[in-house]
Amino acid sequence: MKKITGLLLAPMLLAASTLAISAAEPAKTGVMVVSPSSQSQPTYLRNFNPFNATPLFPTTNGIYEPMMIDNKVTGETVPWLARAFKWEDGGKKLVFTLQDNVKWSDGEPMTASDVVFTFDLLAKTNGLQGAGLQAVGKSGYVKSVEAPDDKTVVFTFDHVHSPGFYDIIAQNIVPEHIWKDVEDPVKFTNDNPVGTGPFTEVTAFQSQSYQVDKNPYYWQTGKPYYNGMRMPAFGGNDAVSVAFANGTLDWAAQFFPNMQKAIIDKNPEDLHFWWPTVGADVLFMLNTKITPFDDVVVRKAVSLALNRKQMIQIALQGQSSESDVTALSSGYSAWKVKDPSTLGDWVDFDPARANKMLDEAGYKMGPDGIRLTPDGEPMVFDFTMVNGFTDWIAVTPVISQNLKKIGIKLEVVMADVPVAFGNWINGEYDVSMFFGIDASSPYTYYRNVMSAKTVAPIGSPTGFAENFWRYSSDKADQLLDEFAGTVDHDKQFAVMQELQKIMADEAPVIPMWHAPMFYEYNSARFTGWADADNAYTAPMPRQTTSDQLLLMTTVKAK
């Protein structure tokens, strides 16, 4: 047997000794190594089509750019391809003035007709993705898009709908002179993209890594301050964490358990992380079409029973904070009431009070410690959990124990992502969790929380993140219409205060904690990163939001 193992091992050892040299590849100067969010495929297939659902990073908000950037951290709207905007005709017209000197990466000038073309293409072609689809799609609110001159774009609305601003500014603009000849924009893979963004030149493409270098004609003169970005395929979170700990990865968007001790402390000089809580609130969902979750008393009692502090400790090693009754994260701080605790305190941890509320509401405790619904049914519910969502799975026992204390029994049902997401969309679950509503405007946020317009019957799909709990309030709908029907910020602010009051009174869904935005960086080769002391943008490398452009155009190679 010795002989056999020797036989097997000998060539391997030989290989190992000759190959150790090739293991660590030194990164090229000025080329940032990035592991973008939601891009974990083992092999890459070339696709830089910004109208696809899943093009390669940084197609949207990197190769292509939006007219303006909604900065979640500072709360500002940053002029980008458009230098200014104004509402006209009482909010029925939205007029953008474009920057001077913007060029496509092939040297052609970018004009207002490119913007018009982009929105036309989106409106006319079935199957294209884009933020602007909401505005110009089949049930859109924009009547026409016109370019009176090379630098001006006018959007004419059907009716006043001020939150539409966020849909329009986020749409990435493509060059008319290229895309007018594309036969099928849905299936076009756009191998050599021409965009206005800071990084446009695909200089290397292999199945396990590709590189996008800077745009030679970038309109912000002098920027970007580094040569390019390389995206190696990692094929798993573990590989990402190893690469980051080794120092071979510069910019990442990953949740690593025990971040500080396991990774940062190994090299605190270069490795850093900052997880700002500007995104969404993680939600605990009770299907309000199911008795007793149609009763606000039960919903609030459930919330009071949850030990959020302990869960944050378990799921995120304390790297977040508890939600308040408005369910708004600090990304909406410009709209939030001064002190949410004045609106309600049902996010406290107080099982005794929860039990008292349920007793008073007449939910009798059964002999086995499980409460009964008014119909005499025991309160036993399926708790839909998602395979692979390790941080949630970790808190599942806490939630089950917390609710057991108030006489509600949860039976955990594990589901694959496609199953769980399908159940949420169709309202086919009792109790579940959700990573939160990611919306630019608080209007969209609350519309998704409690508008009748986002409710679908059980078994019919809603949009994603739209009212999975199927709660509606007439009062809220009225207020939401009021908000959308004006461009007067003071009026909108007043309406938003009222909406937060409804959220606090009705608890349509239970906010848990502020979802952190996972972001890690290595300062050995690049400077100018966003962090807690220099919080200029939401810094996650992910193409679904435009904030990343601010980081790409600020960071410098050392």
Partner 1 sequence: MSFILRRLGFYLLAFWAALTLDFILPRLLPGDPVASLIAGMGSRLNAAQITALREALGLIDEPLIIQYFTYLSHALRGDFGISYSSFPAPVSAVIGTGLMWTVLLGLCALIVSFILGHIIGIFAAWWRGSLLDKIAPALLNFIGAFPPFFLALLAVYVLGLTLQWFPTSHAYESGLEPGLNFEFLASVLHHMVLPLFVVILVTIGPWTQGMRNVMIGVLAEDYITMAEAKGLRQNRIMLNYAARNAMLPSVTGFGIFLGFILSGQVLIEQVFAYPGLGFLLVRAVGSRDYPLVQGLFIMITIAVLVANFMVDILYTRLDPRVSRG
Q: Does 90 bind partner 1 (CB under 8 A)?
A: no
**3-state DSSP of 498-516:** HHHHHHHHHCCCEEEEECC
Host H or E run for residue 436: none
Q: Is the dihedral of CA 98, 103, 104, 109 positive or negative?
A: positive
Nearest distance, CB of residue 186 and partner 1, angstroms: 5
The torsion angles phi and psi of 163, rounded to 5 degrees, stand at -65, -15
Residue count (the chain): 558
Supply the minimum distance, in Å, between the C-beta of residue 551 and partner 1. Answer: 17
Q: 235: part of which helix (H) or strand (E)? A: none
On whether the CB atoms of residues 65 and 196 are closer than 8 A, the answer is yes
Cβ atoms of 378 and 366 within 8 Å: the answer is yes
Q: How far is the CB of 486 from partner 1 (least distance, A)?
A: 22
Question: Of 101, 207, 341, 527, which lies in the binding site for partner 1, with binding defined by CB under 8 A?
Answer: 207
Q: Give me the DSSP letters along 240-270.
A: HHHHHHHT--SEE----TTHHHHTGGGSTTT
Q: Is 546 in the site for partner 1 (CB under 8 A)?
A: no
CB-count burial class (<10 Å; 0-12, 13-18, 19+) for 316:
buried
Please say whether the beta carbons of 115 and 144 come within 8 A.
Answer: no
Q: Rank residues 139 and 221 by Cβ distance to partner 1 and give the closer one.
A: 139
- CA dist 83 and 94 (Å) reads 14
Q: What is the largest CA-CA distance in the chain?
A: 88
Strand-pairing partners, residue 529, are none
Window 53-72: residues binding partner 1 (CB under 8 A)? 53-54
Smaller CB distance to partner 1: residue 207 or 527? 207
Contact 107, 124 (CB under 8 A): no
Q: In the set 337, 370, 425, 557, which binds partner 1 (CB under 8 A)?
A: 425
Does 4 contact partner 1 by CB under 8 A? yes
Tokens of 356: 């008292």
Q: Distance (Å, rounded) from C-alpha 176 to C-alpha 181?
A: 9
Task: By CB under 8 A, tell whether 422 contacts partner 1.
Answer: yes
Q: Which of 23, 107, 375, 533 binds partner 1 (CB under 8 A)?
A: 23
Of 180, 416, 457, 556, the one binding partner 1 (CB under 8 A) is: 416
Q: Which CB atom, from 135 or from 395, has the smaller least distance to partner 1?
A: 135
* 44-52, 98-106, 364-372, 484-492 -> range binding partner 1 (CB under 8 A): 44-52
Q: Is 164 in the site for partner 1 (CB under 8 A)?
A: no
**18: contact with partner 1 by CB under 8 A:** yes
Q: Does 216 bind partner 1 (CB under 8 A)?
A: no
Task: Examine residue 232 and tell whether it contacts partner 1 (CB under 8 A).
Answer: yes
Binding of partner 1 by 49 (CB under 8 A): yes
Q: How far apart are CA 121 and CA 376, in angstroms?
A: 57
Residue 36 DSSP one-character state: -
- For partner 1, the binding residue among 37, 118, 329, 432 (CB under 8 A) is 37
- Shortest CB 72 distance to partner 1, Å: 13
Q: Residue for token digits 């001790």?
A: 261
Listed residue (276, 222, 244, 253) closest to 557, CA to CA: 222
- How many Å apart are CA 415 and CA 387, to the nearest integer? 6
Q: How far is the CB of 497 from partner 1 (least distance, A)?
A: 25
> Token pair of 510, please?
């239970």
Pick 351 or 422: Cβ nearer partner 1 = 422
Does residue 193 belong to the site contacting partner 1 (CB under 8 A)?
no
Out of 391, 438, 477, 505, the only residue in the binding site for partner 1 (CB under 8 A) is 438
Site for partner 1 in 248-287 (CB under 8 A): 280
Closest to partner 1 by CB, 1 vs 532, is 1
Residue among 7 and 532 whose Cβ is closer to partner 1: 7
Query: Contact region for partner 1 (CB under 8 A) — 352-360, 435-443, 475-483, 495-503?
Result: 435-443
Distance CA 83, CA 101 (A): 12
Q: Does residue 221 belong to the site contacting partner 1 (CB under 8 A)?
A: no
| Footprint (CB under 8 A) of partner 1, residues 462-521 | 462-466
In whole angstroms, the minimum distance from the beta carbon of 453 to partner 1 comes to 10
Q: Does 1 bind partner 1 (CB under 8 A)?
A: yes
Q: Which residues within the stretch 361-390 sit at the binding site for partner 1 (CB under 8 A)?
A: none
Shorter beta-carbon distance to partner 1: residue 378 or 422: 422
Q: C-alpha distances in angstroms, 136 versus 109, 119, 145, 152, 439?
A: 25, 7, 9, 18, 18
Nearest one of 545, 534, 552, 549 to 74, comparing CA atoms: 534
CB of 60 to partner 1, least distance (A): 10
3-state secondary structure of 96: strand
CB of 375 to partner 1, least distance (A): 29
**Cβ atoms of 356 and 369 closer than 8 Å:** no
436 makes contact with partner 1 (CB under 8 A): yes
Q: Is 188 in the site for partner 1 (CB under 8 A)?
A: yes
End-to-end Cα separation, the chain, in angstroms: 55
Of the pair 207, 534, the CB lying nearest partner 1 is at 207
Of 416 and 488, which has the nearer Cβ to partner 1?
A: 416
Size of the site for partner 1 (CB under 8 A): 74
460 binds partner 1 (CB under 8 A): no
| 422: three-class secondary structure by DSSP | helix
- Tell me the closest approach of the beta carbon of residue 281 to partner 1, in angstroms: 12
Q: Which is nearer to partner 1, 111 or 320 (by Cβ)?
A: 320
- Provide the b/e sequence for 496-534 (b: ≥16 CB within 10 Å): beebbbbbbbbbbbbbbbbbbbbbbbbbebbebbbeeee
Candidates 6, 90, 127, 397: give the one binding partner 1 (CB under 8 A).
Answer: 127
Site string for partner 1, 128-157 (x = CB under 8 A): xx-x-xx--xxxx-----------------
